[in-house]
Amino acid sequence: MVSPSLHATPTARDTAPALVTVRGLGIRYGAKVALQGVDLDIRRNEIFGIIGPANAGKTSFLRALNRMDEFVPHMQIDGTVTFAGRDVRTIRNLYALRSHIGVVFPLPVGLPLSIYDNVALSPRLRGERSKAVLDEIVERCLRRAALWDEVKDRLQGLGSLLSGGQQQRLTIARALSQEPELLLLDEFSIAVDPVTTMRIEEVLKELRRELTIVLVTNLVQQARRLADRTAFFLGGRCVEITPTERMFSGGATDPRTADYLEGRFG
């Protein structure tokens, strides 16, 4: 019997326009091919999950979205990545591009600044000088990252002295202070305890109302909990993209996806 979820009525998110369009994406590091022939669309206000074993090309894919390759020696990109209707390779102001695309890395990257200044940095770089406005931004972003109640009485303390889970949420708050349209998450929970991971996941579900999220994770059940659609990467290729619940309910279109989900390799 076919699961009712496989024939669910399309939601507004299912038919939302694409924020990111990728066509013929190929990535090489010198002679080593990391990705080839990737074609996909990422819709506005969805959580787009990417799963797959190590060295499948998942992190390389994220690097291509906001031109992180410019900081990676010998990384070469072919094909096109379009963000909000513009080819990212033609955007001259790299800071302007990255102000719309926030990134959270696997390990917390705490700047040697106070908690307050970590979050206020991006608004200040945009030219904001009003303390009242900065105060409002800092509080809003810390609240959205589920960190405000824990740090509101020590905002001038060093962010690097927070616990690992708190630092990761501070990283999310700092990314949100850019007011991004797109948030890239690369294994955000790899160094975070399970309780904090669940708190961040709840935050991400709320943020989906306001922005688009790309979630790279090796935790397939995390993708199942969060993602609207999930892409399976293997051997430098995007094997398939399927609505998440369908993929996890026996509806994967490629047997290699089912093998991965069932733990036969990876």
What's the CATH code of the domain at 47?
3.40.50.300
Is residue 85 included in any domain, yes or no? Answer: yes
Taking alpha carbons only, the member of 90, 70, 94, 72 closest to residue 81 is: 90
The whole domain housing 175 covers 107-179
CA distance 214 to 25: 17
Q: Give me the helix-helix angle, 131-144 and 115-125, nearest 10°.
A: 120
Note the pLDDT of residue 224. Answer: 97
| 119/244 same-domain check | no
Taking alpha carbons only, the member of 73, 63, 74, 72 closest to residue 22 is: 63
| 25/83 same-domain check | yes
Element (DSSP H or E) covering residue 242: strand 237-243
**Residue 42 near residue 84, CB atoms below 8 Å:** no
Is residue 3 included in any domain, yes or no? Answer: no
**Residue 101 near residue 184, CB atoms below 8 Å:** yes
Note the pLDDT of residue 13. Answer: 60
CA distance 257 to 80: 26
DSSP character for 128?
-
Is residue 244 included in any domain, yes or no? Answer: yes
Note the pLDDT of residue 217. Answer: 95
DSSP character for 9?
P
| 95/129 same-domain check | no
Is residue 199 included in any domain, yes or no? Answer: no
**Residue 41 near residue 21, CB atoms below 8 Å:** yes
| 45/111 same-domain check | no
Sign of CA dihedral 38, 233, 109, 146: positive
| 82/37 same-domain check | yes
| 135/172 same-domain check | yes
Give the CA-trace dihedral at 244, 246, 250, 253, to 10 degrees: -90
Is residue 78 included in any domain, yes or no? Answer: yes
Question: In a structure prediction context, what are the per-residue pLDDT tens digits for the chain, which is 266 residues long?
Answer: 333 334 444 555 667 799 999 999 999 999 999 999 999 999 999 999 999 999 999 999 999 999 988 888 899 999 999 999 999 999 888 888 888 999 998 877 767 899 999 999 999 988 999 999 999 999 999 999 989 999 999 999 999 999 988 998 999 999 999 999 999 999 988 878 888 889 889 989 999 999 999 999 999 999 999 999 999 999 999 999 999 999 999 999 999 999 999 988 87
Structurally, how many domains does the chain consist of? 2
**Residue 12 near residue 209, CB atoms below 8 Å:** no
Note the pLDDT of residue 18. Answer: 94
| 236/111 same-domain check | no
Q: 61 to each of 101, 131, 174, how far by Cα in Å?
A: 14, 38, 22
Note the pLDDT of residue 72. Answer: 86
Of 158, 179, 200, the residue at which a domain comes to its end is 179
Is residue 91 included in any domain, yes or no? Answer: yes
Note the pLDDT of residue 157. Answer: 96
Is residue 55 included in any domain, yes or no? Answer: yes
Note the pLDDT of residue 7. Answer: 40
State whether residue 32 is helix, strand or coil: strand
Is residue 12 included in any domain, yes or no? Answer: no
Note the pLDDT of residue 265. Answer: 80
| 27/94 same-domain check | yes
Note the pLDDT of residue 110. Answer: 67
Show the tokens assigned to 246: 């369908």
